[in-house]
Structure 1
Amino acid sequence: MSLSSQPPAAALVFQTLLTQGPLTRAELGRRTGLSSGAVTKVSTPLLADGWITEMGQPAGERQPGRPATLVAVRPERARFIGVKVTADELIGVAADLTATPLATRRTPLGSRDVGTVVRAIARLVARLADGGGGPAVHSVGVTISGDVDGHTGVVRYSPFLDWRGVRLADLVERATGVPTVIDNDVRALTVAEQWFGSGAGLSSFALVTVGAGIGCGISVGGRLVSGAHGVSGEIGHLPVGGALGSAQVCTCGNTGCVEAIASTQAIVDQAREETGDPGLTLAEAVRLAHSGDEAARAVFTRAGRALGLAIASVANLIGPERIIISGEGVASYDLFADQIRRSFTAQAFGTAAECDLVVRPLPFEAWARGGAAVAAQRLFAPAGAGPQSAS
């Protein structure tokens, strides 16, 4: 039985169990808004085909009459592979139905040529699929930075790979023989955080990533915002340079973007200029800033201001319960944390300033896990509409 062929009520029950279970049928009804009869009707084929299972009674509950039984998803029922593509490396994760990692692998990329990358993905998928036994891989989820259309499987533009119009989903599917979906890496990570991380159970949240690029995934009303044209949450391209006296040129070709001020490469470029050292590395810039070097600290201060303005814009626009800050750039978060908070508080309108800001360092394996989560999502939401609220 394919979950995608089941009625919407079955998908709702399955997703609620996936993200909030185990639950009794009565609690399932309360959380989904379905009647007890409807819950039983849609649960029966899911039980018969092994997607969900019955467990014992809830701990501590011994009530008269028919005892309540917990129902839960069977994580081992399906296996997925997520792949995060960076400019010089592939990170892969084999995961179960709950996106729990079963195996991880990394492999360097010798070239950014499309064919080379696709072949490297196929080899990585094969190695991950061979390990651990269990069911065959149901699908592969590949995540990549840039303008990625998950509906059509096309990478419209990825600046770090210099790709345009690449039909990546089709290419990987042909190379691996496994159904493949692709998505923007930040949106995929947001799906994983929505289901199993710091966004679980929230009606709205945003995930801001700081690193080679500045990205943002947004979840409102339990749905991931993916944009009518496949673009959303691109806060890295908000024009804040005017407010900061910066005219740095961004990879998109515009000037004054957040990404041109606060991405890791932008910080390195500015630190080299400010210190007069053309060979300065990021680690050395961080060390200089920590040691009190005013020129280096000024670069991180400006980056913090840009990020604070961008994060405040997210809070003002959607009013999320929480904004999660992650990405490889948070390793040096202490250097611009105070400035982020000050800029955010000054720019956030009214009670938007009360938004919970959470710093959550996540390794690239977690980003690859996002690819597995997107692949799992398409198991019962093939149209890519995103998870629905079960509240």
Structure 2
Amino acid sequence: MLAASWAPLSPAERAVAIEVLTHGPVSRSEIARKLSLSAGSLTRLTKPLIESGLLVEDPPPAAPASASAAPSAAPATRQGRPSQPLDVVADSRFFAGFKITEDTVYGVVTNLRSDVVATRALPLRTHEPVDVADLLHAMTTDFAAEFPRLAGIGVGIGGHVIGPARAVTSSFLGWDGAPFADLLEQRTDLPVVVENDVAALVESEAWFGAGRGLDRFAVLTIGAGIGYGLVIGGQLVRSGDDGRGIGRRWIVNPQGPLTPDGDRGSAVSLLSIPSIRYQVAAATGRNHTYDEILTLAAAGDPMAARVIDEAARALGTVVAQIANFAMPQKILLAGEGVGLVEVATPAINEAIAANRHPLAEPVALETKISDFNDWARGAAVLAIQILVLGRPKTAR
């Protein structure tokens, strides 16, 4: 098995390695500027990283040959040593990431840069932790046959994870403190980290996606439920409430709809895919998929348009609240439900404006429709972090 981490690295060496991993290939001068290092200090820090094979020096681009140059022309005088950008070898290691839903396990393999190189999905026929661990073990074995340099496993689950990613409580799986990371680690002999799926997605976007390089960054996910994560100072803000389902009691409109999941007028009741489908079915007596409802709303169907307009105004209100209180540089809307934005952008923007100060800066809003492979990729990033940062030493 490959080494479970890049340890031992000093904090300064690790900072350099992470900068190259998340932004490389990157010039030495840019690294020195971002990390406030002198050229001498950077040379001292990068030397052992290069010698150990963690980092490599990209050759400088070759000067284009000039066919018209005179053979007797004297070579140009070189002014100093050319800068050689630093990079990581992305395919030096691979990582398995899994997203567990109520009826399916989605798996991906990524390289060190979190690029997805393989995907697979298998039905989940039982929720017993031991049986789920056996299924993920089988999928990992298949992945390892194709990618023998598999270095770690990340698992994302909708639920509450206790301590350094060891015990999981998940209502939809019926788990109460299941030691799932240990069960899977015992079977695979690989480092395993288990995390709330929203937190995993936020970490992925902070390291390799929309939040890369930002000091303050927020993610709001819309899908089967509502998820929220906040990054400050480049670190995900942790809370004992992580994975508790904050959207069920995030009241957006007290006069809003009452649905089977979530309080009246909550973010879940207004925005989640099951709630939107429930509202349309209750009013029309017909079941429609979420995409069908969006299409009907865009075409002017009265009931679908009313439900989607109310959801859009709720989304704009939630976005404005996040902007008002967290003051992020960017808010990412992700998940299977963000097709709402394409259909109802004017209503969303009106609600944002109505809930912001007239002189407030525009909200930097980015959308990303995420499928379950994206959620699994987020889990794989957790495994990359274990390699780079080592295991958490204390419970949160």
Distance in 1, matches of 2:163 and 2:346, equals 36
Please report how far the alpha carbon of residue 382 of structure 1 lies from its aligned counterpart in structure 2 after TM superposition.
Answer: 2.7
Matched letter for residue 268 of structure 1: R
SS in 2 for 1:64: coil
Q: CA deviation at 1:16?
A: 0.4
Q: Within 2, Cα distance between the matches of 1:110 and 1:35?
A: 57
Residue identity in the other structure for 2:311: A
Q: Does residue 7 in structure 1 map to residue 10 in structure 2?
A: yes
d(CA) in 2 for partners of 1:338 and 1:101? 34
| Counterpart secondary structure, 1:336 | helix
1: CA distance between counterparts of 2:7 and 2:157?
Answer: 25
Q: CA deviation at 1:325?
A: 1.1
Q: Distance in 2 between matches of 1:244 and 1:383?
A: 46
Aligned to 2:257: 246
Q: Which residue of 2 aligns with 1:335?
A: 343
Alignment of 1:208-223 (within 5 A): 208-223=220-235
Residues 1:182 and 2:194 are matched in the alignment = yes
C-alpha distance in 2 between matches for 1:59 and 1:358: 38
Percent of aligned positions that are identical: 34
Worse-superposed segment, 330-339 or 77-86: 330-339
Of residues 105, 116, 130, the one that matches 1:115 is: 130
Aligned partner of 1:321 among 304, 310, 329: 329
CA contact (8 A) 2:161 2:243 kept: no
Matched, 1:146 2:159: yes
- What are the residue-to-residue correspondences of 1:48-197 with 2, within 5 Å? 48-57=51-60, 64-133=79-148, 135=149, 137-149=150-162, 151-156=164-169, 158-197=170-209
Query: 1:143 corresponds to which letter in structure 2?
Result: G
Pair 1:174–1:198, CA change in 2 (3 A): same
| CA gap 1:66/1:92 in 2 versus in 1, 3 angstroms | same
2:44 aligned with 1:33, yes or no?
no
Residue 176 (structure 1) shift: 2.0
**1:316 Cα deviation (Å)?**
1.2
**Distance between the aligned counterparts of 2:337 and 2:208, measured in 1?**
22
- Cα displacement (A) at 1:141: 0.5
Partner of 1:275: 284
Deviation of residue 226 (structure 1)? 2.4
Matched residue SS, 1:231: coil
Contact 1:102 1:132 in 2 (8 A): no
User: Paired residue for 1:359?
Assistant: 367
8 Å CA contact retained: 1:308, 1:341: yes
Partners of 2:158 and 2:243 within 8 A in 1: no
Instruction: Tell me, yes or no, if the aligned pair for 1:240 and 1:306 is still in contact at 8 Å.
Output: no
1:344-381 per-residue CA deviation (whole Å, 9 max, x = no partner) reads 22113455551111122233222211111111112222
Which residue pairs with 1:388 in the alignment?
A: none
RMSD (Å), alpha carbons:
2.6
Paired residue secondary structure (2:41) = helix
Structure 1 residues 233, 112: closer, same or farther in 2, change over 3 A?
closer
Can you give the 5+ residue segments of structure 1 that lack an aligned partner in the other structure? 386-391
The AA in structure 2 aligned to 1:331 is: G
* 1:360/1:300 CA distance change after superposition, 3 Å: same
Return the alpha-carbon distance in structure 1 between the equivalents of residues 50 and 200 of structure 2. 28
Counterparts of 1:230 and 1:95, CA distance in 2? 29
> Do structure 1's residue 310 and structure 2's residue 310 form an aligned pair?
no
Gapped regions of structure 2 (runs ≥ 5): 65-76
Q: Deviation at 1:266? A: 0.8
Q: Distance in 2 between matches of 1:287 and 1:73?
A: 44
* Structure with the greater alpha carbon radius of gyration: 2
CA deviation profile, 1:257-300 (whole Å, cap 9, x unmatched): 211221111111111112233x4443443443334222222221
Give 1:319 deviation, angstroms.
0.9
Amino acid at match of 1:23: V
AA in 2 matched with 1:86: T
Equivalent residue for 2:302, pick from 269, 285, 294:
294
1:16 paired residue number = 19
Deviates more, 1:12-21 or 1:323-332: 323-332
**Is it true that 1:203 corresponds to 2:212 in the alignment?**
no
1:93, distance to aligned residue in structure 2 (A): 1.2
Q: Deviations over 1:227-274 (max 9, x none)?
A: 2x26289652453254443343535xx544211221111111111112
Equivalenced residues, count: 378
Q: Provide closer, same or farther for how the CA distance between residues 223 and 5 of structure 1 changes in structure 2, counting only shifts above 3 A.
A: same
The 1:22–1:150 alpha-carbon spacing in structure 2 relative to 1, beyond 3 Å, is farther
Contact 1:144 1:184 in 2 (8 A): yes
Secondary structure, aligned partner of 1:326? strand
| Most deviating of 55-64 and 182-191 | 55-64
The AA in structure 1 aligned to 2:54 is W
The one-letter amino acid of 1:65's match is G
Q: TM-score, normalised by structure 1?
A: 0.88
Measured in 2, the distance between the counterparts of 1:216 and 1:63 equals: 53
Q: Is the 8 A contact 2:312 2:340 kept in 1?
A: no
What SS does the aligned partner of 1:138 have? strand
Give the match for residue 70 of structure 2: none
